[in-house]
Amino acid sequence: MSDTDALIAQLQAQQALFTQSLVAMLNGNWIGAGSVEALTYALDPNLQGTLNLNPPVTQSEYTEPPKN
């Protein structure tokens, strides 16, 4: 395997992780196994412990404001 082939294989693996991360984001999987956080750490282990992901709050999680 040439250097170019190895680089292309690495790029394809990174692209697959990035695509999986986008799918996890669209599905709302922000933290835990198979999440945006886990896949980002797989792309760059140096980020371990630097991310502070707060999953978005859905409208259904809000309480109804009191009516006056």
Residue-level pLDDT at 51: 82
pLDDT in tens, 12-46: 999 999 999 999 988 988 888 999 999 999 999 99
Average pLDDT of the segment spanning 46-51: 88
pLDDT value at residue 55:
73
pLDDT-derived band at 67 (thresholds 50, 70, 90) equals confident
- What's the angle, vertex CA 53, arms to CA 55 and CA 28, rounded to 5? 35
CA dist., res. 53 & res. 30, Å (int) = 7
Write down the pTM of the prediction.
Answer: 0.70
pLDDT for residue 64 is more than 90: no
